[in-house]
Amino acid sequence: MAAEIKTVKSLCNRCGLNTNHHVRFNHSVSDSCDTPDGESIVDWGSTYTFLECCGCSDVSIRRHDWCSEWDHGSYDETFYPPRVSRRKPSYFESLSEEYRSLLGEIYTALQADSRQLAMMGARAVIDLFILRKVGDQGDFAKGMAKLEQDGYIGKLDKDIIKAAIDAGHAASHRAHIPSSKELTAVMDIIENLLQHDRLAASAETLRKHTPARTPRSSSKKETP
């Protein structure tokens, strides 16, 4: 009788959910050394686990690092490839190459928890949006004013986008490391901006291909 395959819960990048994973293979390595005073020994090691999602069959490797000097039962956990912290929006592939290239690097930075790089990238996306829509206006404030003037954004949108730009500026020039919450808010702003722009273009295309409504004919009774 075949041995029962062990399963564990883990986040699946492809499913985007915490799913059951088959444990296909385990491999452990360890080592030890004397402490500087020579009075005790420090042990450490790593366990590599080959996981396969029970739903989509996506595979990954989980690494557990442990050390005898850490609190009992504690360990560091790392995944290869890294777990996706934010999935690409459904409309990603319909964006222009310039946007896809920038956003792709931002999502890669998010996976690596490189929050400063991700925030700088978010600012670059907004700068690109301004350039593509209204051209180089000389500075950010004038660019935002032109976007509002030409109807691309509203007053509330402008205030929200300015907050994202300020966060990106702080990451670039003042070594500010944004929190996960701040970064999530900025990514929401960026993705909503691009989605609204894409929907506006789709609506314009729809209007062009929708037949005009035929006016109703009115018949008047002749008076004798």
Which tens digits make up the pLDDT trace of 172-208?
A: 777 777 777 778 888 888 888 888 877 766 656 656 6
Structural domain that includes position 51: 7-80
DSSP string, 16-52: TEEEEEEEEEEEEEEEEEE-TTSSSEEEEEEEEEEEE
Tell whether 162 and 196 lie within a shared domain.
Answer: yes
Q: Is the domain of 179 the same as that of 106?
A: yes
Q: Are 106 and 128 in contact (CB under 8 A)?
A: no
CA neighbor of 98 nearest in space, from 123, 137, 132? 132
55, 99: one domain: no
Percent of the chain with pLDDT over 70: 89
Q: Which of 51, 80, 109 is the last residue of a domain?
A: 80
Residues 110-133: what's their mean pLDDT? 87
- Cα 112–Cα 115–Cα 118 angle in degrees, nearest 5: 90
Domain match, 141 and 194 both = yes
- pLDDT over threshold 80, residue 38: no
Measure the CA–CA gap between 3 and 27, rounded to whole angstroms: 18
pLDDT score of 80 more than 90: no
| Average pLDDT of span 135-162 | 83
Would you mind telling me the total number of residues written for the chain in this entry? Answer: 224
The reply to whether 130 falls in a domain is: yes
Question: What's the pTM?
Answer: 0.60
**Res. 212: pLDDT tops 90:** no
Do 11 and 112 have their domain in common? no
Is residue 85 situated within a structural domain? Answer: no
CA separation for the pair 175, 45 (Å, rounded): 35
pLDDT for the residue numbered 205 = 64
Residue 186 and residue 130 share a domain? yes
Least confident piece of the model among 131-140, 163-172, 182-191, 210-219: 210-219
Is the four-CA dihedral 174, 175, 181, 183 of positive or negative sign? positive
Same domain, 27 and 56: yes
Distance between CA atoms of residues 96 and 191, nearest Å: 14
Residues 131 and 147: their CA atoms lie apart, in Å, by 10
Decide if 218 is inside a domain: no
Among 59-68, 193-202, 210-219, name the one with the lowest average pLDDT.
210-219
Tally of domains within the chain: 2
Residue 193 and residue 132 share a domain: yes
Residues sharing a CB contact under 8 Å with residue 28, sequence separation 6 or more, in sequence order: 45, 46, 47, 48
Q: What letter would DSSP give residue 2?
A: P
